[in-house]
Amino acid sequence: MFGVDLGALAGWMDGQGLGKGPLEDVQSLGGGTQNILLRFRRASRSYVLRRPPPHLRANSNETMRREARMLAALAGTNVPHPGLIAACPDETVLGAAFYLMEPIEGFNPTTGLPELHAGSPAIRHRMGLALVEGIAALGALDYRALGLEGFGKPDNYLERQVARWRSQLDSYVEHPGWPGPKGVPGVDKVGAWLEAHRPASFHPGIIHGDYHLSNVLYRFDGPELAAIVDWELTTIGDPLLDLGWLMATWPEDDRPSNANVSVTPWDGFPTLRELVDHYRPRTHRDLAAIDWYAVLACYKLGIILEGTHARACAGRAPKETGDRLHAQTVGLFERALRWIA
């Protein structure tokens, strides 16, 4: 029913000393993810289980192990995140690696604002600033001190980006029916601009990898973050890419409908430049090339989304989803072309 063998889970929890007795009040949690999320209670304690989808991809289990390692490393820091309770790297217990985390009392703004937030432009403005503070705090952490040496490959990180993601786009030809890169406006032009304007150096740090309004939860009692969630793409790289990602997905001042992620009502939220200006005093990194990171985010996210369109063209994903994400890819590349003009 839930895609999880609850008996096997209970048995594993017994071995971890995590309560006794049946798993109660089991419910699936929704969200913008293909992973399975279950909330349940055992012996008066609440848990959230996260595991990959039933049909595993090649890297599903390793991604889950990496998420758990990152959440463990973030314990005790000032970055709002779900607290890790326990992780199971062993795939035989539930058919995939999984972990248990503390439930978060919060809401995602893209699914609707509570009355407090919906009724106050000032609160919505502060929500945007709090969003920036989340990645500023993450990027300020010393990943080596947190035991994350080897978690990513920071050497030549920026130099690898364009070729790595162009290769990803070209790999979609394996899906019959996909029209190819010509359906992505300006992909060659944007890639060439990124290579020509790449920053000469950067200071490595932790990146979330997919940072936008859909991947955070806010507190019900005010505008502050309750947690940053969905750590699937986390790695060690250039933290300015998280800010660029936020810029790439944020409604533009004169094109509020052309955003990948938005909230209703939108009035009150900071502008793109306000986000950057709020980040600036919270980092030691040079933001002179921040527009380059925003263009790179458009490039990378657009190519990632186009993968679902390619699968849909081959009948391996819903056509409606593929068409919607392709439209977002086109919007991202059109935005990148405007920014480099």
Structural domains in the chain (count) = 2
Same domain, yes or no: 191 and 251 = yes
Boundaries of domain holding 219? 109-340
Series of mean pLDDT values for 10-residue runs along the chain (341 residues):
90 97 92 80 97 86 97 98 98 97 97 97 98 98 97 96 97 96 96 98 97 97 98 97 97 69 90 97 97 98 95 92 95 97 94
Does 222 reside within a domain? Answer: yes
Point out the domain boundary residue: 57, 73, 101.
101
Q: What is the pLDDT of residue 33?
A: 53
Q: What is the pLDDT of residue 111?
A: 92
Q: What is the pLDDT of residue 257?
A: 58
Q: What is the pLDDT of residue 1?
A: 64
Does 45 reside within a domain? Answer: yes
Q: What is the pLDDT of residue 58?
A: 82
Helix segments in the chain, DSSP class H: 6-16, 60-74, 115-118, 121-140, 157-171, 187-196, 240-249, 272-279, 290-313, 319-340
Same domain, yes or no: 131 and 278 = yes
Beta-carbon contacts of residue 77 (< 8 Å; ≥ 6 apart)? 137, 141, 146
Same domain, yes or no: 115 and 135 = yes
Q: What is the pLDDT of residue 8?
A: 97
Q: What is the pLDDT of residue 210?
A: 96
Same domain, yes or no: 125 and 24 = no
Q: State whether residue 81 is helix, strand or coil.
A: coil
- Phi then psi dihedrals of residue 47, to 5 deg: -135, 155
Question: What torsion do the CA atoms of 302, 305, 308, 312 make, to the nearest 10 degrees?
Answer: -60
Residue 335 near residue 327 (C-beta atoms within 8 A): no
For residue 25, the domain's CATH number is: 3.30.200.20
Q: What is the pLDDT of residue 260?
A: 72
Does 142 reside within a domain? Answer: yes
d(CA 332, CA 187): 10
Q: What is the pLDDT of residue 61?
A: 96
Q: What is the pTM of this model?
A: 0.94
Same domain, yes or no: 91 and 123 = no
For residue 318, the domain's CATH number is: 3.90.1200.10
**Measured CA distances, 39 to 2, 33, 48 (Å):** 11, 15, 4
